[in-house]
Amino acid sequence: MTSQHATDGPTRNIALYPWYQFCRNLVFWQAVWFLFFQDRLTPADAILLYAIYDIGTTALEVPSGYLSDRIGRRFTLIASGIAALIGAALLSFGDGFAVFALAQVFLGASTAFNSGTDSALLFESLAADDRQDEIEAQELRAWRFSFVALALSAVLGGVMSYADAELPFIAGTIVAVGVLVLTWKFSEAQTHGAPHPQGSELMRLASLKPALVQPVLGWLFLLSVLMYGFSHLPFVFGQPFILEALNGAGLAAEAPIVSGATSAVMMLLSVMTSLIALRLRHAIGLPGILLLAFAMQIALVGVLALTNSLAAIVLLFFRMVPNSLSQPFILARTQPLLDDDSRATYLSLRSFCARLLFAGSLYLASQSTSAQDTLAYAELQVILGWYVVAGVVALTSLLLLARSIAIEPSKTT
Convert the pLDDT of each residue in 46-100 to its tens digit: 878 877 887 777 777 767 777 777 788 888 999 999 999 999 999 888 888 889 9
Q: In the chain, how long is the greatest CA-to-CA distance?
A: 68
Give the CATH number for residue 250.
Answer: 1.20.1250.20
Per-position pLDDT tens, the chain of length 413 = 444 444 578 888 899 999 999 999 998 887 777 778 877 777 778 878 877 887 777 777 767 777 777 788 888 999 999 999 999 999 888 888 889 999 999 998 898 888 778 888 888 888 888 887 787 788 888 878 988 888 888 888 877 877 787 888 899 999 999 999 999 999 886 554 434 433 334 445 555 666 667 888 889 999 999 999 898 887 677 666 676 667 666 666 666 667 667 777 777 887 788 888 888 988 999 899 999 999 999 998 888 888 767 666 777 788 888 988 898 888 888 877 877 666 767 777 787 788 788 878 877 776 666 555 555 667 777 888 888 999 999 999 999 998 888 787 765 44
For the chain, how many structural domains are there in total?
1
In whole angstroms, what is the distance from residue 98 CA to residue 106 CA? 13
- Among 240, 219, 266, which residue's Cα sits nearest to residue 397? 219
409 domain residue, yes or no: no
Tens digit of pLDDT for each residue in 331-369? Answer: 888 877 877 666 767 777 787 788 788 878 877 776 666
Expressed as residue numbers, the domain containing 45 is 9-186+206-402
100 domain residue, yes or no: yes
198 domain residue, yes or no: no
CA–centroid distance for 307 within its chain: 27
350 domain residue, yes or no: yes
Torsion angle defined by CA atoms of residues 52, 30, 319 and 372, in that order, rounded to the nearest 10 degrees: -60
Quick count: other Cβ atoms within 10 Å of Cβ 400? 9
Q: Please tell me the pTM assigned to this model.
A: 0.66
